[in-house]
Structure 1
């Protein structure tokens, strides 16, 4: 489950290591949470990268994963030490046993049981 930061990195830099890793994945192996999509869409509305057409093309390659009841229940169990988007994403990933792909590993370090990978290296 790719987070907003890594998604934006992939969308604005075609030569990024994130894109290299995405290219090695099978369709559907990587998803983006509707939580991360909301964070990116807000940025697009504020005229931050990526451009709207690039976001739509990204969603064709990386499908949206809806935040559902299981994710909401997991969210209710998490401590609130950081930004809410990060807590929501962590809960969503935990609810489906997904790995979070992020460049901000420290933002998720206090979430017990959450697996995190950094594809920017």
Structure 2
């Protein structure tokens, strides 16, 4: 085990502790929402993940799960509701309306099931 070194701060000896370097990962919107949710509503879990250096890994996993679920649900629901390329060719505005509605519903499901779970 490494020897712990201390620095004198006023009347106190404080340990020189540093966290190991973590790889720089670009986090998408779902990961950022998850981090904010944990920081505001589950502080103990947030700080446990942060101090064990697994927060970035957790957020990257959450982002991946959310994107996969969003893509899968969008395809399944579009097929079930009959939103196809032929509808897009026939009536573009109707297709856009339906896809926007579908996308918003899917995002609400993903937020509830993955991000805020």
TM-score by length of 1: 0.25
TM-score by length of 2: 0.25
Q: Which has the higher helix share?
A: 2
Q: Which has the larger radius of gyration?
A: 2
